[in-house]
Amino acid sequence: MKYLIKDFQLYLKNEKGSSKNTLDSYLRDVEQYAAFLLRYHGIKSPKDIERVHLEAYMRSLKRIISTKSMARKLTAIKSFHHFLILEKEVSEDIAKSYKSPKIEKSLPKVLSVDEVISILNQVDPKTELGLRNMALLELIYGSGLRVSELLDIEMGDIHLNQGYIIVKGKGSKERMVPISDPSVVALREYIIKSREHLLHQMKTSYLFVNQKGSRLSRQGFFKLLKKLAHDAHVETDCSPHTLRHSFATHLLENGMDLRTLQSLLGHEDISTTQIYTHISQKRIQEIYQSAHPRAKEE
């Protein structure tokens, strides 16, 4: 099935416009599925895959991974079987009606405004890396970007005078995102005073670079944020996505409507955006319980 998995990769990239992260994830999931079918059922051709084989694979996963990971793997497998139908490799989609395991929805963790400010205060704006770090943090929190969107920004995508950037979201879909005044200031400072020095005469179109002049990696930014949060004594587990969640929650708490927030976040379905209304309500209850004298007595 190796040649079909390769064709599936091209289908995801060229026809579905999947991001690199989605490509890598789907291919890894489908390759593991194919390896299971070969090892335990001797299946080399998709024509030989039956519903019972898929059920056996999902049962094997149940013992070793979370329900959320199972659901993600099933999504990749369903996409692969749909591709097999499109390519007329099989006559029946055995995965189509297979129900995804129920996932318990947990509310994303968010930072308070004070915690965000505390993290920003850990950055030293007098150094070249500090200027870059301030631009990174102001932009990801000020515009609610996904980490992949942040690190994929190229020099031609930024329009500081007009106050917006072009980001490439899921499925390589582009959208225009406004940037805050503090972000504009931080970006100007970084571009004028820091970026050229960090490049060390290397050439790249990416906006954010590391100390060696290459594109800053997800791991690099994750480690940086973890350290800053630790130095700021922020107890909430902090990741790049925590800043995105915080951006959305803080905007809702200050009166932004869901449709506008959906557009800013690049969500296709507004139900994805609605999770932040639950966070806001939970935070309001927590503030009430800690602040109201009668609530404290109870």
Please state the rounded mean pLDDT for residues 247-254. Answer: 89
Contact 53, 43 (CB under 8 A): yes
- 82 and 118 together in one domain: no
Contact partners, residue 17, CB within 8 Å, separation at least 6 = 171, 172, 173
Strand 158-159 and strand 164-168: pairing? antiparallel
Is the pLDDT at 298 greater than 50, yes or no? no
- 178 and 229 together in one domain: yes
- 76 and 178 together in one domain: no
Tokens of residue 67, six digits:
């329900």
Is the pLDDT at 297 greater than 70, yes or no? no
Please state the rounded mean pLDDT for residues 286-290. Answer: 61
Q: Find the catalytic residue in 78, 81, 132, 146.
A: 146
E strand or H helix that includes residue 4 = helix 2-10
Q: Which residue, 240, 229, 231, 125, is CA-closest to 187?
A: 125
What's residue 280's pLDDT? 65
Q: Is 95 inside a domain boundary?
A: no
**72 part of the active site:** no
Please give the residue that has the higher pLDDT: either 128 or 272.
128
Contact 230, 118 (CB under 8 A): no
CA–centroid distance for 191 within its chain: 25
- 44 and 180 together in one domain: no
**170 part of the active site:** yes
**57 part of the active site:** no
Return the CATH number at 239.
Answer: 1.10.443.10
C-alpha distances out from residue 284 to 105, 130, 249, 252, 280, Å:
20, 34, 11, 12, 6
**267 part of the active site:** yes
Tokens of residue 92, six digits:
């029946």
Q: Is 181 inside a domain boundary?
A: yes
Q: Find the catalytic residue in 11, 57, 190, 276.
A: 276
Q: Is 15 inside a domain boundary?
A: yes
Distance CA 157, CA 7 (A): 32
Q: Is 100 inside a domain boundary?
A: no
pLDDT band at 279 (very low <50, low <70, confident <90, very high): low
Is the pLDDT at 105 greater than 90, yes or no? no
Q: Find the catalytic residue in 81, 195, 244, 245.
A: 244
**146 part of the active site:** yes
Return the CATH number at 77.
Answer: 1.10.150
Tokens of residue 265, six digits:
């976040």
pLDDT band at 197 (very low <50, low <70, confident <90, very high): very high
- 142 and 276 together in one domain: yes
Strand order in the sheet with 158-159: 158-159, 164-168, 174-178
Q: Find the catalytic residue in 170, 215, 226, 283.
A: 170
Instruction: Provide the residue range defining the domain that includes 222.
Output: 113-291
- 231 and 272 together in one domain: yes
Share in percent of the chain as helix, strand, coil (round to 5): 65, 5, 30
- 124 and 245 together in one domain: yes
C-alpha distances out from residue 160 to 130, 146, 157, 183, 189, Å:
20, 20, 10, 9, 12
What's residue 172's pLDDT? 73
Tally the C-alpha atoms within 13 A of residue 169's C-alpha that lie toward its C-beta.
16
pLDDT band at 38 (very low <50, low <70, confident <90, very high): very high
Distance CA 167, CA 150 (A): 8
Q: What is the DSSP letter of 107?
A: P
Mean pLDDT of all residues in the chain? 90
Distance CA 8, CA 15 (A): 10
Distance CA 183, CA 186 (A): 5
Contact 167, 149 (CB under 8 A): yes
Q: Is 287 inside a domain boundary?
A: yes
Q: Is 106 inside a domain boundary?
A: no
How many domains does the chain fold into? 2
Q: Find the catalytic residue in 175, 215, 241, 283.
A: 241
Is the pLDDT at 269 greater than 90, yes or no? no
- 133 and 168 together in one domain: yes
